[in-house]
Amino acid sequence: MPEGDTIRRLADRITERFAGQTCSRCVTRDPRLVGLDLAGSRLVDADAVGKHLFLRFADPDGRRRSVHAHLLMDGRFLVGPASREHAFHRRIELWFDDGRLTGLDVPLLGVVPTDREHELVDHLGPDLCGPVVPDPVVVAARLQRDPDVPLAAALLDQRNVAGFGNVYAVELPFVVGLSPNQPVGAIRGLEGLLAIGTPMIRMHGAAGPRNTTGRRLGTADHFVYGRRACPVCASPLEHWTDRDSPWGRISSWCPVCQPVRSPRDTDLVRARRLLALHPVRRDPMFPRADAREPDGLSADR
């Protein structure tokens, strides 16, 4: 499922492959793109803001316009080869010198003048995979603006911070011993979770696959996402389906390792132990062992 890191990697891959090339043929099958013809326009670059993707074009008359895409749950782009999917799924197809770019089942597509892209993303919080690394203390304060919201719901709300999707909303609470159901206002040291999650998603934005454990690094390995038992205490996990979850997404947590209590501390000792093998430990932002406990980050960071 596309999260901020996936879209960042996708944008970089599109730029690497097609930037500077002129689109020779353009086929669209989306009502919002009726009349769009990018043939003759040059792809300047592709960029990601949170989970929003922009394909920026320079037209022969000097106009700049951007194709805007949001993949939601199921959309994807195929970069390079021709798609074999039925035409119905190919919502946009662009031919370049060096291959084809195909948007498959992309649920949200549109075109905007490039200098008005910001209108589509102004409502988002700091971009976790953007050029400026968001400050965990600032992001924690945004997450805790509404203290009654469950932690996972606050992490998923892109107005607080842009980029986290459901894998992070399940895995990060587990790593620091917090329940995804924990009211976010009762958490102490929430910036510690962000000092782990921020470099982790940025690392995955630079190279995949998304691995939250540090084990079998070439694979998409997770502690509790998509699993049945706790890897720490072996208790059966509890689950929300997307229908019964208060925030509308599936979730999993260990009732023993992640109890809901008030107040509740972010457990960085647990996080360091669980992520002992993960390369994110080498990031300067990762909470250090001598960080003041249990408040999380101290002035030595």
Contact residues for Zn ion (CB under 5 A)? 230, 232-233, 235, 254, 256-257
Amino acid type, 164:
F
Our CB check for Zn ion shows the closer of 49 and 230 to be 230
- How far is Cα 151 from Cα 171, in angstroms, rounded to an integer? 12
Annotated active-site residue 3? The verdict is: yes
CB of 256 to Zn ion, least distance (A): 4
Annotated catalytic residue within 16, 31, 51, 191: 51
In the complex, minimum distance from the CB of residue 248 to Zn ion, in angstroms, rounded to a whole number: 25
Q: Which residue shows structure tokens 């999993």?
A: 252
What is the smallest separation between the CB atom of 226 and Zn ion, expressed in angstroms?
A: 16
Q: Is 31 a catalytic residue?
A: no
For residues 110 and 259, which CB has a smaller minimum distance to Zn ion in the complex? 259
Q: What minimum distance in Å lies between the beta carbon of 260 and Zn ion?
A: 14
DSSP string over 118-183:
HHHHTTS--BTTSSSPPPHHHHHHHHTSSTTSBHHHHHH-TTTSBS--HHHHHHHHHHTT--TTSB
How far apart are alpha carbons 170 and 180 in whole angstroms? 7
What residues are paired with 143 via a beta bridge?
Answer: none
Closer to Zn ion by Cβ: residue 151 or 230: 230
Nearer to Zn ion, 82 or 256 (CB): 256
Are 30 and 91 contacting, i.e. CB atoms less than 8 angstroms apart? yes
Catalytic residues: 2-3, 51
